[in-house]
Amino acid sequence: MKFAWFFMLSFLLILFNYFVFRVVVRKSYARTHRLSLLSILLQSLVFALHANLSYTFLPTAWPTLPPLPSSVFHSTVGLGILGVGLITTIWAMSGLGFRKAIGQRAGGLHNSGIYRYSRNPQLICYGLALVGVTALWPSFYGLAWLLIYAVIVHMMVRTEEQHLRETFGSEYEQYCREVPRYLAFPKI
């Protein structure tokens, strides 16, 4: 029964995600070249629903936080990964500028700092935070939850890339050739 519930909620979340990013956000970018308040709220809702989907595998009822694992090592590693993920997410978003990170301010392409290694470092860093959650309370559902995050992010990124190509043209194409969509390692 738990698997059916998780599968059904995941499927509905992915459908809603598709509607938000491939329909609403795409239209918002096409009309105003930035995200509307509705688009921002719906995107936030997608990520909030994904976060709450974790309660299908966390060992507690919503909205309480589960107890940490009894092993100090296990708790330290999981919290460390979670903490590094959250701190680097904020760092990556602040490097871009929060208004720009949520689609409210245009401007030129940002291709310095951490954006030399990834076109979407804030999403990679947040994914690292989710790995920390899954490390704290490991399960098959936790791994599936991470995969659902990857699907959500990929749809979001593809929509943003379409907008950026239309906005910046060859400058963005050059950036795409130089910097990977998700992650690259520095050349030594």
The neighbour count for residue 141, using CB atoms within 10 Å, is 20
pLDDT at 184: 67
35 near 29, Cβ under 8 Å? yes
pTM score, whole prediction = 0.89
The neighbour count for residue 100, using CB atoms within 10 Å, is 16
Q: What is the rounded CA–CA span in Å between residue 181 and residue 158?
A: 10
pLDDT at 141: 93
pLDDT at 99: 57
pLDDT at 150: 97
Q: What is the rounded CA–CA span in Å between residue 176 and residue 115?
A: 11
pLDDT at 113: 82
The phi-psi region of residue 126 (left if phi > 0; otherwise alpha if psi is between -120 and 50; otherwise beta) is alpha
CA angle 126, 129, 132 (to 5 degrees): 160
pLDDT at 186: 55
How high is the mean pLDDT in each 10-residue block of the chain (188 residues)?
Answer: 90 97 94 90 96 89 91 97 96 74 61 85 96 95 96 96 91 91 70
Architecture of the domain made up of 2-178: Up-down Bundle (1.20)
